[in-house]
Structure 1
Amino acid sequence: MIKHIALGAFLLVTGFFSAQNTAMNGAEAKAFVTKISSDTKEIKTLQSDFTQTKKLDFLDKSIVTYGKMSLKSPNTLSWRYTKPYQYSIVFKENKIFINDQGKKSSVDAKSKTFEKINKLIVGSSNGKMFNDPEFTVTYFKNAGYNIAKFVPKSSQLLKYIKQIELSFPKGQSTVSQVNMTEASGDTTNIVFKNTKINAPIPASEFSL
């Protein structure tokens, strides 16, 4: 359960990708990374509602869940699933805190796959994700979006994740969608909406 939620969440801090995606050239990729890195330097907090759609190989019907993501710089992240069930996962102080409908637990996140996922989600809000040594990053574009594709370098991470694609709407510097393909072939799509930047976030959002 933890693995599926953590991977589905990544991803945390968004099946829309078109066949018309084209690779950015070197100058375009450099300009894109520079703009995102510059624009996100001032982000201290970020909140978004999200819809997550997970397709499992052994199920005919997709699993759709809803909730809210909250991020506080430098490395605190909360995912609260509200429909059709209540489930919360908080990344902070190198630990993962979980509340599964009232049942609370914690997991040490150091040197684990979850820590890498947390770092990449947080990095999406400050541009540092592009320099993550754990991933090879390539860049694409289409009519509406710029896309960064992350492929794990380590065999340990490849056991869980095949690739992750982060979508940035043209003219915007925060992620609006995340597409992830797991090693098993299962896919997760997260769409973010109603995003608020640098709005106050109650401390209760990061406690269980």
Structure 2
Amino acid sequence: MRNVLFLIVLFSHVSLLIAQESNMDNAEIVRFKSMINETSKATTTIQSNFTQYKHLDFLSNDIITEGKMAFKAPNMVKWEYLKPFEYSVIFKDDKLLINDSGTKSNVDLGNSALFKKLNELIINSVKGNLFQDSDFSMDYYKSPNYYKVIFIPKDEKIKGYIASFILLFDKKNADVLEVKMIEPSKDFTRIVFTDRLINKPLDNEVFTN
């Protein structure tokens, strides 16, 4: 009897969570996209803490890492992992700069149209500006606390790396709260942003390896 009651409570809780999300109508989508575009155009820098959850199907628990993210328009992004290890990745001028606990390396992304596109997707996901109908099919949802958009790439090469993006947006200011990148294998990376600072001074030296 206790197990039956537990299942009833669990099912009710899950049903409530699902019910909190609903589809946006066309007018809501137009207003939402306009708000995102205005926010994106006005954003010159972003600084934020983040927690990353890497889900691999063969592991019982997600791999959790913490760090800081920095973005500076038009195309510089730094992911600095601090816990449980130190590692940084910088996307800058078609270059990928890696610092693995003092071991540095550079990768030229400009020679690969695919990786150049992936870099663009990463930058736009940080800004929340992925709304190119030619590149994605999109589904729009709303809840009391956030907007959610599921982006499915149309490019077959991109699909080989990323099956879909899921972005959660703050309903008040259109900031990106979470980014989830789902791989074709169904493994995924979920990044949760906290303590975001928008348009605060950010020196270019931050983006050096």
Task: Indicate the TM-score class for this superposition, using the shorter chain for normalisation.
Answer: 0.7 to 0.9
- Counterparts of 1:48-197 in structure 2, within 5 Å, are 48-110=48-110, 111-124=112-125, 128-131=129-132, 133-197=134-198
Name the SS of the counterpart of 1:129 in structure 2. Answer: coil
Distance in 1 (CA, whole Å) between partners of 2:60 and 2:116 is 31
Of Structure 1 and Structure 2, which has the larger fraction of its residues in helix? Answer: 2
Matched positions, count: 191
Q: One-letter code of the match for 2:194?
A: K
Q: Is the 8 A contact 1:120 1:132 kept in 2?
A: no
Name the SS of the counterpart of 2:82 in structure 1. Answer: strand
Runs (5+) with no aligned partner, structure 1: 1-17
Q: Is the 8 A contact 1:41 1:126 kept in 2?
A: no
Residue deviations 1:163-185, cap 9 Å, x none?
11110021121101112211111
Query: Root-mean-square deviation (CA), in Å?
Result: 1.7
Percent identity of paired positions between Structure 1 and Structure 2: 41
Distance in 1 (CA, whole Å) between partners of 2:129 and 2:171 is 19
Distance in 1 (CA, whole Å) between partners of 2:144 and 2:48 is 24
Whether 1:19 and 2:18 are equivalent positions in the alignment is: yes
Q: Is the 8 A contact 2:29 2:140 kept in 1?
A: yes
Distance of aligned partners of 1:125 and 1:54 in 2 relative to their CA distance in 1, 3 Å threshold: closer
Instruction: Report the TM-score, using the length of structure 2 for normalisation.
Output: 0.84
Q: One-letter code of the match for 2:26?
A: G
The structure with the larger Rg is 2
Instruction: Report the TM-score, using the length of structure 1 for normalisation.
Output: 0.85
Which structure is richer in relative contact order (CA contacts within 8 A, separation 6 or more)? 1
Runs (5+) with no aligned partner, structure 2: 1-16
Offset, 1:189 = 1.2
Residue deviations 1:126-184, cap 9 Å, x none?
56421263322221111211012111111211111111111002112110111221111
